[in-house]
Structure 1
Amino acid sequence: MEIRGIWITTTASQVLNSRQNIAEAMNFLAETGFNVVFPVVWNNGFTSYPSRVMRENFGVEINPRFQGRDPLAELIEEAKRVNLAVIPWFEYGFASSYQKNGGTIIAKKPEWAARDSAGNLLVKNGFEWLNAFNSEVQNFLLSLFLEVIKNYEVAGIQGDDRFPAFPSEGGYEQKTVERYQQEFNQLPPVNSKDPQWLQWRADILSNFLTRVYREIISINPESIISLAPSVYPWSYENYLQDSKTWVDLGLVDLIHPQLYYREFDLYKKDIDRLLINQFTKEQLPQLIPGILLQQSTYRITPEHLVQAINYNRSVGVQGEVLFFYEALREDNNALAKVLKSGIYSQPAGKFDPKEIKKSGFTHRRTNDNFTYINPSQEISLKAQFDWVKPFSEGMAAVKMGYKWGYIDKTGKLTRFRFDSAEPFSEGLALVKINNKYGYIDKTAKLIIALQFDDAKSFSSGMAAVKIADKWGYIDKKSKIMIPAQFDDAKSFSEDLAAVKIANKWGCIDKIGQTKIKFELDDSAIFSGGLALVKVGNKFGYIDKEGKFIIEPQFDEADMFSEGLAPAKKGDKWGYINQFGEFVISPDFDLAKPFSESIALVNVGGEFKEDKEQGKAYFMGGKWGYIRKP
């Protein structure tokens, strides 16, 4: 499925003026090869549908231009007739008006106005702005989105370069200043582009987008959240649009950066930059760029348009959204004819929200939320994240979209910025950004710089790290304690660590001396004086002298904990004691070690192979906890 979209405006356009015009436009777009339309529903302080929210707040139900009609309902009916999806476009977002000193909204609710550092109404490029950090303003905008989602058969909603957005010159309203001062114990900088001040305000917008996303999919999990920001990082520095974070946190299903260049070479250059710096292979299906067809006296040439779309497909970009409809009709439909006879001549396929959602995180956010249970302290933390890891030393790694952060037991979060994050151990946590590993403390400050090609968590005051192709060990000051000389290495436990030379594993002590010969096919960490080892295709357990206490006989196994170890014979897992006897029958399809007298087990699941990534994943079945006998 390709995504072929077009924006329908109220400015310089007659489409929404009558049902006849709407029907003609929908017929024309379907015949040209489009499959989704983005009609404006919110601009200049008015909606283009009858809004109860607007009536109750401002006494104006609809843009007076459309009084007595419902252009959105008409457009949805006509679009449905020709198999076009409809995603309403909230054009003005947090902007209240254009060259109207705030318009009717700020006239009625002056406390909603945004302010610059001089205390003036925030104006940028002629647009007057609402305070995007004000909870009432946020609730108002959200109520407009939810009103449309609940009352109309639409495929989703769309924000643009004004949602979520806010000019970086703003944020100097009293409540915003007090909020910043409370967190940082200082006033906001006069320099509106101070890095901390930029990030703090951008994070407020990203957090609000998280709320918008969750509330919309709670009503309809198939609703598409579509955003058309200005180009990153310009959009971040000037309008606090941290669109890279939105994509990384899975807060947008389709994103349409406004690549409004008038030369193809500039368009191509920015597509290349986005693919290198902003979008990973997994995120690429979300990228559906915006292309400028017409603005003032400018109109794109047919050659430029075809070049841009062809380049999109050549690099794996499966669609675009064009700004805007009227340009297709100029010069006897010249641009439309080029599309219809060429790159849009083959059907795009029906716009399918389910297909789009496959590469996102909605399915995780509409099922039950994770609950982490800590039996010893009798607390239950309900975590509003896509993944969570158990608490360790008062902190838990949590994931949103593609990025990890940490949460403490009061609910305080660090920023989501890590590509991987391990539990805290001995006061430090192993993290990865891009392809390098380092260690942070509980304030998320990097204590050991991102420098290693691979690494393990600290244990016994040391951590295994990979430098170039070899493994060694460092201390907490990043000093090398055992030089990098091993082909693989595991963490220290009970003063021994398993290391690999060539194809065999042995164990060393903390000064690097060999304590168990390199004769094993695999070895795990010691626990309770025993280490799980592999010889041939079977697993058993050795003591610290390298002597077998339980001979290799299991098809798979895990470490001892609280006197028992999960072990597998044939297709099923059970639990053995330190004599190798099953004290819990092998009845499970997967079993994890005991912790505080309970263990996680699965019945009915199985490993499935992902050939593309060369990994196997355990999927399906039912999970539950068992208690020690």
Structure 2
Amino acid sequence: MASKLHCKIWQWCVALIHTSLKPVRFMFLSQVWRRNIQLRRLFPILAIISFVTVLLVSNFTPVLAQLPRQEIRGVWLTNNDFNILRDRRKVQETMNRLQEMNFNTVYPVVWNSGYVMYPSAVAQRAGIQPFVFRGSDGHDILADVVNQAHRRGLLANAWFEFGFMAPPTSELAVNHPEWLTQKRNGGKTSMSAAGEVVWLNPFHPQVQKLISDLVLEIVSNYDVDGIQFDDHMSLPHEFGYDRYTIALYTQETKKSPPTNPQDPSWLRWRADKITAFMTQLHQAVKARKPNVIFSVSPNYYDFAYKFQLQDWLTWLRQGLIDELIVQVYRPDLQSFVANISRPEIQEAQKTIPTAIGVMTGLRNNPVSIQQIKSQVRATQQRGLGVAFFYYSSMWNYSSESLDERQAGFQALFPYPALRARVD
């Protein structure tokens, strides 16, 4: 790619010379060259400048190549980063570090454990927010993160981490039991990375209204570049046997839901209902602010559809997704490469910015910088972007020194790749 660009630039320069300089001018230059000793002495310096220019153009070629699809270099800011998020100075240091390391996108959490991370009239009306997460000096955390990100050329996409998921002890679950769905045996909880959780019924109109209102509240009140929904904007396949859903399914199909939760028609009906809601949500967001990025961060497609009823490939093909980040948290490189090479990912990257979610560590599961580097190289070789889960674990939970970790991440992105903001 670099050699082709160099060749094109050289051809363009030659063509410009031939069209703008007449033969008499060439004769004049020739006479000046013969008579002017100083000009001859400057020639080696001019040659070096020309050579360095070519090198710089070649080195920046990857940036130019990525601009049409806007390469994602992102990181999630989670509840585990709250000590950073609540402190203006630490947020400033974080954004400075990310800018210096050539990142271009942050995903601050705004919906977690049944609570919002910003002052919300919608949450107060729903009776699910007895308190508001604020910064150490009483400031609006989300507004501060967005503003400081923008000052350093970073996009800020608000992350609805928990989607339809909530802890069973949250005010959301306790105050609105009618909003919850259940398994065929009556069980209402499942185990997740966040522990035991209940699931809001994604087919219930009041649940849909709550999520839609929260999303539109952020789009309207904050200068966010996008809204992101991850693998929890879904429903585990065992769920959907609550009264409301059974009645709706019976009304539409004239039969009871299959006893097998993985029955193909039952899977499809529920997945299509979630798709219909995402379509409505997408339309509402774009009507409120057309240029907001509608981002999705699911698991790989086979798992997402069969086990989470999340048919994100259909969302992609229907034009609902502006940005895709597929979570591939695999320690084994061979398994990691197999998952990032799937055809649906290749399909997505032809039309929208597409990236892979890479695990950088958990408190009880550190990840070495060598593993991170090998996975990032694999994504870059396939023309994919990267998003890291999550910020604090980039530096902590590892036996490696901070300097070693920072040098490792710095080496991943040696040149900038800016993403354009569209107001």
* TMscore range, shorter length: 0.7 to 0.9
Residues 297/282 of structure 1: CA separation in 2 closer, same or farther (3 Å cut): closer
Q: Distance in 2 between matches of 1:305 and 1:146?
A: 35
Q: Distance in 2 between matches of 1:307 and 1:190?
A: 44
Where does residue 223 of structure 1 map in the other structure? Answer: 292
Where does residue 269 of structure 2 map in the other structure? Answer: 200
Where does residue 390 of structure 2 map in the other structure? Answer: 324
- AA at the equivalent of 1:53: V
Where does residue 136 of structure 1 map in the other structure? Answer: 206
Please say if residues 76 and 106 of structure 2, whose CA atoms lie closer than 8 Å, have aligned partners that are also in contact: yes
What's the CA shift for 1:10?
1.1
Give CA deviations for 1:480-511 in whole Å, capped at 9, x if unaligned. xxxxxxxxxxxxxxxxxxxxxxxxxxxxxxxx
Q: Distance in 1 between matches of 2:81 and 2:87?
A: 15
Where does residue 371 of structure 2 map in the other structure? Answer: 304
What's the CA shift for 1:109?
1.4
Is 1:33 matched with 2:33? no
- AA at the equivalent of 1:105: L
Q: Distance in 1 between matches of 2:361 and 2:125?
A: 37
Q: Distance in 2 between matches of 1:87 and 1:64?
A: 18
Please say if residues 8 and 38 of structure 1, whose CA atoms lie closer than 8 Å, have aligned partners that are also in contact: yes
- AA at the equivalent of 2:209: N
| Pairing partner for 1:283 from 350, 355, 373 | 350
Q: Distance in 2 between matches of 1:148 and 1:175?
A: 29
Please say if residues 115 and 128 of structure 2, whose CA atoms lie closer than 8 Å, have aligned partners that are also in contact: no
Is 1:214 matched with 2:283? yes
Q: Distance in 1 between matches of 2:348 and 2:75?
A: 25
Give CA deviations for 1:165-192 in whole Å, capped at 9, x if unaligned. 0111111111211111122221101211
Superposed counterparts of 1:155-234, under 5 Å:
155-163=225-233, 165-234=234-303
What's the CA shift for 1:279?
3.6
RMSD: 2.0
Which residues of structure 2 form unaligned runs of 5+? 1-66
Where does residue 161 of structure 2 map in the other structure? Answer: 91
Please say if residues 228 and 297 of structure 2, whose CA atoms lie closer than 8 Å, have aligned partners that are also in contact: yes
Superposed counterparts of 1:444-483, under 5 Å:
none
Give CA deviations for 1:327-351 in whole Å, capped at 9, x if unaligned. 22233153332232x2311011234
Please say if residues 168 and 193 of structure 1, whose CA atoms lie closer than 8 Å, have aligned partners that are also in contact: yes
Calculate percent identity across the aligned residue pairs: 30
| Pairing partner for 2:222 from 152, 175, 199 | 152
Q: Distance in 2 between matches of 1:182 and 1:102?
A: 33
Where does residue 43 of structure 2 map in the other structure? Answer: none
Please say if residues 124 and 167 of structure 1, whose CA atoms lie closer than 8 Å, have aligned partners that are also in contact: no
Q: Distance in 2 between matches of 1:13 and 1:248?
A: 36
Give CA deviations for 1:395-425 in whole Å, capped at 9, x if unaligned. xxxxxxxxxxxxxxxxxxxxxxxxxxxxxxx
Larger Rg computed on CA atoms: 1
| Pairing partner for 1:295 from 362, 370, 376 | 362
- AA at the equivalent of 2:160: F
Please say if residues 306 and 343 of structure 1, whose CA atoms lie closer than 8 Å, have aligned partners that are also in contact: yes
Other structure's SS at 1:14 match:
helix
Residues 279/210 of structure 1: CA separation in 2 closer, same or farther (3 Å cut): farther
Other structure's SS at 2:235 match:
coil
What's the CA shift for 1:129?
1.1
Where does residue 377 of structure 1 map in the other structure? Answer: none
Q: Distance in 1 between matches of 2:328 and 2:269?
A: 26
Please say if residues 327 and 356 of structure 2, whose CA atoms lie closer than 8 Å, have aligned partners that are also in contact: yes
Residues 299/285 of structure 1: CA separation in 2 closer, same or farther (3 Å cut): farther
Which residues of structure 1 form unaligned runs of 5+? 355-629
Q: Distance in 2 between matches of 1:65 and 1:322?
A: 25
| Higher-strand-fraction structure | 1
**Greater length-normalized contact order (CA 8 Å, ≥ 6 residues apart):** 2
Where does residue 121 of structure 2 map in the other structure? Answer: 52
Superposed counterparts of 1:393-432, under 5 Å:
none
Other structure's SS at 1:69 match:
coil
Superposed counterparts of 1:492-571, under 5 Å:
none
Other structure's SS at 2:387 match:
strand
Q: Distance in 2 between matches of 1:62 and 1:78?
A: 25
What's the CA shift for 1:303?
2.4
Where does residue 511 of structure 1 map in the other structure? Answer: none
Where does residue 338 of structure 1 map in the other structure? Answer: 408
Give CA deviations for 1:566-607 in whole Å, capped at 9, x if unaligned. xxxxxxxxxxxxxxxxxxxxxxxxxxxxxxxxxxxxxxxxxx
Where does residue 112 of structure 1 map in the other structure? Answer: 179
Other structure's SS at 1:186 match:
coil
Where does residue 23 of structure 1 map in the other structure? Answer: 92
What's the CA shift for 1:22?
1.3
Q: Distance in 1 between matches of 2:145 and 2:131?
A: 16
Give CA deviations for 1:239-264 in whole Å, capped at 9, x if unaligned. 11112111111111111111001122
Please say if residues 122 and 170 of structure 1, whose CA atoms lie closer than 8 Å, have aligned partners that are also in contact: no
What's the CA shift for 1:26?
1.1
What's the CA shift for 1:59?
5.8
- Please give the TM-score of this superposition, normalised by the length of structure 1: 0.53
Other structure's SS at 1:169 match:
coil
Please say if residues 40 and 90 of structure 1, whose CA atoms lie closer than 8 Å, have aligned partners that are also in contact: yes
Q: Distance in 1 between matches of 2:210 and 2:148?
A: 29
What's the CA shift for 1:278?
5.1
Where does residue 243 of structure 1 map in the other structure? Answer: 312
Q: Distance in 2 between matches of 1:297 and 1:122?
A: 24
- AA at the equivalent of 1:261: R
| Pairing partner for 1:252 from 313, 321, 327 | 321
- Please give the TM-score of this superposition, normalised by the length of structure 2: 0.77
Is 1:75 matched with 2:75? no
Q: Distance in 1 between matches of 2:175 and 2:348?
A: 47
Q: Distance in 1 between matches of 2:389 and 2:318?
A: 27
Where does residue 77 of structure 2 map in the other structure? Answer: 8
Please say if residues 54 and 61 of structure 1, whose CA atoms lie closer than 8 Å, have aligned partners that are also in contact: no
Q: Distance in 1 between matches of 2:191 and 2:240?
A: 13
What's the CA shift for 1:145?
0.5
